[in-house]
């Protein structure tokens, strides 16, 4: 997969600053062309289109369309993941889609029975979200088939026949999807890992911008926090694929082992990147006139681009060619740092940055080696068993469902909201009958009404914008192209775009989907102008209903949920700091335990940052303590970065600076964080201070840099407590 043959450049000569944006845009396009999103878009389109085209050749287009409808519904549940999860998810989806086809077919003879079915189904299937994202998509598929069949009133025999055809479509899609996976079992994992590396490289690019005097530190730091959320999501996605997939964890081939080892090293690299935190405003104040900071920024960019090339090679399964030599660039940077002579200012911090860059660069350089034919890869059996500890296991039982049947559950609130909004939409349809596709109102509600107000608001805007732009595009295509073969090709292209972007960009999805539906109806002989008017009106009605219901019906304001996320971050940082105390007390502990604590910290930090961004999209009068919470996020992020930095420095130097002067500030920091957590979570019980009680060492002088480092951690703990007190006072 990865080949080291190349003629790499050295120093700072490969890219000029003006080429950076071009380079990033080119890489994004290359990643997209080899992405799982595009692969899924093509596969889903083929699986949906093929039955319709095949049966159309035998003058049975309606039969083919029903089979395609079954395939479409099951495709919704076909999210990336381990083979076992994909198979089980699609199997359950087939069952529920079949059930809802039958129930809707028999219920839609009477308005009252159909209304009761909508009430029951919209609530129950929305509650599926308590079982995770995949289960939620199964519920969405069941609601979709119910809505599509609402207007069809058929005899019992035809209902059974239609249900059988939809069942065949679901089974066909499941077989086709699993076949793709079985033929190329590693491709999904390769694409996911490559994408994870790509997002990590983008994090490095933001780090590079922090050293650039021409950028705004606060703006770049907010970008950094947002990118950490994205990286965390990509790590979770890849972790689930690699660690839950039996085909990979039990695989003894080089590819499977290399994927596992590379991912664990990517996570370690991510920690190294996060650990390199400095006071960037102070750095700029001291060294902006020397020109050294832009030089550091260039080296970081080069490392990021090299990491990006490795990710692309893994994702696209092509040879990797080295383009940048790290050592000459670092030697040149070292010469620049050594040549600096600034009165009253030490360049020691620059040397620390140089060491960090060397560590990061070396980790990046190691990655291609795992795929070299002559390298030795060994993953011990115990290590393989440990992988399961890094993934969450979702329990699916009625007890979980029952425990969420209360207003304290955000999913229950959303299910009630969905039920009321859907039945309101259905009632409106009974009084306003203006077309043949009025089910679009309920369809739009199901897809844009989300548990969080901010996401519903965003989906509303995206749906309206995509529908209007897509409607114009569809009219232009149909009005200017008469050739049916060309229109069919365009429709297939639009379908690929729809299913490619459905998990990436909802606006683009709707932009492709609207003209695709219009062209499809054109083939079916329906007047597309009326359909455009109907679709726009239905979208407007559904958007208004979704907006008002998300605001007034059992609203889920993020400000009410943030305290729980903040408590989780504090708990994670306390556990992380405890590991550091153990380390300095002479107990290095288990590397596995350390990585589990680290993973929990990254996940909780990402959840808090994501919740904060959602809150900032809500109405101003619903945003509580936004500045203080933002400060809390930043302080905790800086805290975890400094803890990680201390781990990195000491483990690499094989030293444990466990003197009294080092341990006391850590103990005080630990106590302050626990006091802060108690203010946020009254049920929290402080732990026993068993760590960090090592007596002062005889005659040993503490490392001054280390002393400054732990004193800074103590200062952060003090600031965090002050912020928590401010929040509690409001």
Confidence of residue 386 (pLDDT cuts 50, 70, 90): low
**Is residue 730 classed as helix, strand or coil in its secondary structure?**
coil
Residue 16 predicted with pLDDT over 80? no
C-alpha to C-alpha distances, 24 to 157, 221, 266, nearest whole angstrom: 58, 20, 20
**More confident call, 263 vs 2:** 263
Confidence of residue 387 (pLDDT cuts 50, 70, 90): low
Mean pLDDT calculated for residue range 519-544: 81
Question: Token pair for residue 174?
Answer: 């499941």
- pLDDT score of 172: 97
Model's pTM, two decimal places? 0.85
**More confident call, 171 vs 603:** 171
Residue 526 predicted with pLDDT over 80? no
Confidence of residue 393 (pLDDT cuts 50, 70, 90): low
Q: Report DSSP state, residue 389.
A: G
**More confident call, 2 vs 424:** 424
441, 410 in Cβ contact below 8 A?
Answer: no
pLDDT, one tens digit per residue, over 62-113 is 999 999 999 999 999 998 888 888 999 999 999 999 999 999 999 988 999 9
- pLDDT score of 12: 45
pLDDT, one tens digit per residue, over 193-249 is 999 999 999 999 999 999 988 889 888 988 988 898 899 889 988 988 888 766 665
Mean pLDDT calculated for residue range 532-559: 87
679, 566 in Cβ contact below 8 A?
Answer: no
189, 238 in Cβ contact below 8 A?
Answer: yes
- Window from 135-139, 163-167, 642-646 with minimum mean pLDDT: 642-646
Mean pLDDT calculated for residue range 627-633: 90
What are the sequence ranges of the domains in the chain?
35-183, 189-374, 432-551, 558-729
- pLDDT score of 380: 43
**Dmax over Cα atoms in the chain, in whole Å?**
94
- pLDDT score of 19: 60
Residues in contact with 604: Cβ distance below 8 Å, sequence separation at least 6, in sequence order: 565, 568, 569, 571, 572
Ramachandran region, residue 376 (left: φ > 0; alpha: ψ -120 to 50; beta: rest): beta
pLDDT, one tens digit per residue, over 280-304 is 888 888 888 888 899 999 999 999 9
Supply the CATH classification number for the domain 189-374.
1.20.58
pLDDT, one tens digit per residue, over 457-483 is 889 999 999 989 998 999 899 989 988
Percent of the chain with pLDDT over 70: 85
């Amino acid at each position: 997969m990865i080949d080291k043959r190349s003629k790499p450049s050295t120093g700072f000569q490969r890219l000029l600053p003006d080429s950076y944006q071009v380079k990033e845009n080119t890489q994004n396009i290359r990643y997209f062309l080899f992405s799982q999103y595009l692969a899924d878009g093509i596969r889903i389109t083929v699986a949906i289109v093929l039955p319709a085209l095949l049966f159309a050749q035998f003058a049975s287009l309606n039969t083919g369309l029903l089979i395609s409808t079954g395939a479409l519904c099951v495709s919704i549940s076909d999210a990336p993941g381990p083979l076992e999860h994909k198979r089980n998810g699609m199997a359950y989806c087939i069952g529920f889609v079949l059930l809802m086809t039958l129930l809707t077919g028999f219920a839609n003879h009477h308005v009252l029975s159909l209304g009761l079915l909508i009430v029951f189904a919209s609530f129950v299937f929305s509650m599926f979200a308590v079982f995770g994202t995949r289960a939620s998509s199964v519920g969405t598929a069941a609601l979709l088939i119910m809505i599509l069949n609402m207007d069809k009133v058929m005899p019992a025999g035809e209902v059974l026949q239609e249900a059988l055809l939809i069942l065949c479509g679901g089974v066909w899609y499941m077989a086709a999807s699993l076949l793709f996976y079985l033929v190329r079992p590693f491709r999904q994992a390769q694409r996911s890992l490559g994408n994870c590396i790509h997002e990590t490289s983008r994090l490095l690019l933001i780090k590079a911008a922090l050293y650039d005097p021409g950028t705004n530190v606060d703006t770049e730091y907010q970008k950094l926090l947002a990118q950490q959320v994205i990286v965390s999501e990509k790590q979770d996605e890849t972790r689930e694929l690699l660690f839950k997939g039996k085909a990979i964890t039990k695989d003894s081939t080089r590819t499977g082992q290399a994927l596992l080892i590379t991912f664990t090293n990517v996570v370690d690299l991510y920690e190294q990147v996060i650990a390199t935190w400095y006071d960037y405003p102070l750095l700029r104040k001291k060294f902006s006139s020397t020109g050294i900071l832009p030089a550091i920024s260039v080296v970081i960019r080069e490392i990021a681009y090299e990491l990006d090339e490795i990710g692309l090679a893994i994702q696209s399964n092509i040879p990797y060619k080295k383009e940048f030599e790290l050592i000459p660039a670092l030697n040149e940077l070292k010469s620049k740092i050594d040549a600096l002579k600034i009165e009253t200012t030490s360049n020691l911090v620059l040397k620390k940055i140089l060491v960090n860059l060397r560590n990061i660069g070396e980790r990046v350089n190691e990655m291609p080696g795992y795929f070299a034919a002559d390298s030795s890869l060994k993953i011990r059996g115990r290590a393989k068993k440990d992988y399961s500890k890094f993934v969450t296991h979702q329990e699916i039982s009625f007890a979980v469902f029952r425990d969420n049947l209360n207003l304290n559950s955000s999913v229950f609130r959303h299910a009630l909201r969905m039920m009321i909004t859907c039945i309101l939409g259905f009632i409106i349809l009974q009084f306003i009958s203006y077309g043949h596709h009025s089910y679009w109102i309920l369809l739009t509600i199901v897809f844009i009404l989300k548990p969080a107000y901010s996401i519903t608001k965003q989906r509303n805007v995206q749906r309206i914008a995509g529908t209007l732009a897509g409607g114009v595009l569809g009219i232009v295509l149909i009005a200017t192209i008469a050739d049916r073969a060309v229109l069919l090709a365009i429709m297939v292209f639009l379908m690929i775009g729809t299913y490619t972007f459905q998990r990436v960009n909802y606006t683009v999805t709707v932009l492709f989907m609207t003209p695709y539906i219009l062209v499809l109806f054109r083939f079916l002989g329906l007047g597309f102008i009326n359909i455009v008017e109907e679709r726009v009106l239905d979208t407007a009605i559904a958007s208004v209903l979704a907006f008002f219901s998300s605001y007034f019906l059992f609203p889920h304001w993020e400000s009410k949920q943030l305290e729980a996320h903040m408590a989780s971050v504090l708990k994670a940082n306390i556990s992380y700091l405890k590991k550091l105390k153990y380390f300095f007390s002479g107990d290095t502990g288990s590397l596995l335990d350390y990585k589990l604590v680290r993973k929990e910290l990254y996940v909780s930090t990402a959840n808090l940052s994501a919740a904060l961004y959602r809150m900032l999209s809500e109405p101003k009068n619903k945003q509580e303590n936004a500045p203080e919470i933002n400060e809390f996020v930043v302080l905790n992020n800086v805290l975890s970065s400094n803890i990680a930095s201390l781990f990195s420095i000491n483990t690499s130097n094989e030293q444990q600076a466990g003197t009294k002067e080092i341990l006391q500030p850590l103990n005080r920091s630990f106590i302050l964080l626990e006091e802060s957590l108690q203010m946020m979570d009254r049920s929290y019980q402080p732990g026993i201070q068993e760590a960090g009680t090592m007596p002062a060492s005889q005659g040993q002088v503490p490392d001054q840099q280390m002393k400054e480092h732990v004193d800074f951690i103590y200062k952060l703990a003090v600031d965090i407590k002050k912020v928590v007190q401010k929040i509690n006072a409001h």
